[in-house]
Structure 1
Amino acid sequence: MATKAPSSSTRFRSPASAVWFLPAAVFLLLFLLLRRPPMDPLAPSVPPTSVSSRRAELYSRMARDLDERGAAFLKGGETSQSLTLSDLFDVRDGAVVPKLKAADPPVRANVLYLDPEFAALISKAVKEVFLPYFDKVIWFQISSMYHFSMFHASHHLEPILATKDEIEAEVDAVKRVTEAVCPLKIVLDQVVLTSTGVLLGLWQVESGTDPANIRSKLREALPRAPQKQLYDPVLLHTSFARILGPPKLQQEENTSSFNHIKFFHDLVAQVNGKIRGFQAKVSELWYVEEYDVLALALNGKMKVRMLDLGCNEGQSI
């Protein structure tokens, strides 16, 4: 089990430390492409009886994305931030490395954090299946950075400038939220591959404060935040990897008639066979200032405040 930094610490990361990845998940802005209406910023807390079915319907649509849109990533398609894959990555000395560029202004994100105790097992399974076929054209999420995007105090579509004092006030407000939020016990519902090449883990919640209610609490705590958020209120997802190009195939398979979609479905089925139903516990929320574009996904420069989920009010939904 990896050693964790103490709660409420600050962490800076440099580009040199980024070699392998992974949407949250990269790319947790994926869902701007999934034709889902934006999160209603004034939506009330979601009753627990409706959450599971809403997630199941959402996840079913996401699982169909590859079939409906095809493997756009094989054609150098756009990412979820209207950037091409070549805008985000280089291949140097046989390794995929991110092209980091400064975020102006920095993005301020609130994410739930998955402890490396759990993330390392998932990362191992994903690499066992995908690495033999993709090698130099895949970016694996670094297992120490697995996360679930919750709520943005500022994002690239609607930047909300803040002074240092205003940022500290936001951190204090988020800390008050985390003190009333209960740790989550979650289970991996399924793994899917999207048309943009992102391998995602989609999760259900067995107990603890539901993500829809966490987002609602963060909305109340951060009234200056963008009115349009980036995710469906019930979504709980982690990015595991991003595929950047075609697979290495046997010579007899490398023909124009080869069914790439079926091939990708087979690989995803192998991953699901290894880790579907995997259980984990989430007990931290991070307030992150991303100084590089997609810093959480690309292991760029960022400042992290680690906040424990306290459950002080005894809320479990």
Structure 2
Amino acid sequence: MARAVAVGAGHCWSHSKTVILIWCICIFFYIFFFRMALQNSSSSSSSDKNTEQRSRLYDTMERGLDESGAAFLKHGETSQSLSLSDIFTLKNGSITPVLKAANPPVRATVLYLSPEYSVPISDNVKNTFSPYFDKVWFQNSSVYHFSMFHASHHIESIPATEDEIEAEANAVKAVADSLCPLKIVLDRVVLTSTGVLLGCWQVISGTDPLTIRAKLKSALPHAPKKQLYDAVILHTSFRKAFGSS
């Protein structure tokens, strides 16, 4: 009888352990998937917030021409407070950029837009705006890009040795390797009061520009505290207008 009781108790204990194990596994997976859902929800919420912030920024840029007027028709300044004659010259009726070394030197991280996409955009820009402006400089479609972060710029120069620049390049590469590919869509095209035609983009998927810039800021601790662009913006310069036909 004692043996029978002992066997029965062992069987019950074994069954209890099985039940406890199953419950533990269920709780583990519940917590795991619940946390994943929260993380995805938080990520989606953050993405929506960044998209809305970009839209508000683009709205402000869009109103700039109406509020400030077409300064480029009056030979105004560029966004870097340079006169147009400082960076462009008119030769035989054509606008030509004045090429000269940047002083102070600029070290910038940019996202490159492949000619697969930039060439069709450039062709459309030329076909659309050429009839209305006789003095236009079109950005070379082979160098369409998105400015992301500056390790040194014209407002705050950060000197660096060749070794330090190499270290910066490696740090930027490490950030790039950790990012998800961006899938973007052209949200709108804006003409600024200084005559720059900008493509303003939104992010459909991938690492948001705000996150990219935050990672670059951490990777480049000696970079200027004040960057040149809003952290959420994703824009490309298509062309510069100087006058109308």
**After TM superposition, is the score higher than 0.5?**
yes
Residue 81 of structure 1 and its aligned partner are, at CA, apart by 1.1
Cα offsets for 1:25-81 (capped at 9, x unmatched): xxxxxxxxxxxxxxxxxxxxx922310110111111111000000000111111111
Cα offsets for 1:196-219 (capped at 9, x unmatched): 000000000000111000000000
Distance 1:185 1:48 in 2: 13
* 2:117 aligned partner: 118
* 1:175 aligned partner: 173
Distance 2:198 2:173 in 1: 28
Question: What residue identity is the alignment partner of 2:67?
Answer: E
* 1:270 aligned partner: none
More helix by share: 2
- Aligned-residue Cα RMSD (Å) equals 1.1
* 1:215 aligned partner: 213
Question: What residue identity is the alignment partner of 2:144?
Answer: Y
SS at match of 1:102: coil
Residue 104 of structure 1 and its aligned partner are, at CA, apart by 2.3
Larger Rg: 2
Matching residue within 152, 160, 179 for 2:150: 152
* 1:59 aligned partner: 58
SS at match of 1:240: strand
- Structure 2 spans left out of the alignment, 5+ residues: 1-44
> Quick check: 1:49 aligned with 2:81?
no
* 1:74 aligned partner: 73
Name the structure, 1 or 2, with higher relative contact order (CA <8 Å, separation 6+). Answer: 1
Distance 1:97 1:185 in 2: 33
Kindly, what percent of the aligned residue pairs are identical?
64
Residue 133 of structure 1 and its aligned partner are, at CA, apart by 2.4
Question: What residue identity is the alignment partner of 2:142?
Answer: S
Residue 102 of structure 1 and its aligned partner are, at CA, apart by 1.6
- Provide TM-score, normalisation by structure 2: 0.80
1:82-231 → structure 2 map (5 Å cutoff): 82-135=81-134, 137-231=135-229
* 1:298 aligned partner: none
Distance 1:47 1:163 in 2: 38
Distance 1:104 1:86 in 2: 17
Residue 129 of structure 1 and its aligned partner are, at CA, apart by 1.1
- Structure 1 spans left out of the alignment, 5+ residues: 1-45, 249-317
Cα offsets for 1:141-163 (capped at 9, x unmatched): 00001000000000010100000
Residue 132 of structure 1 and its aligned partner are, at CA, apart by 2.0
Distance 1:91 1:117 in 2: 30
How many equivalent pairs are there? 201
Q: Where in structure 1 do 4 or more consecutive aligned residues deviate above 4 Å?
A: none
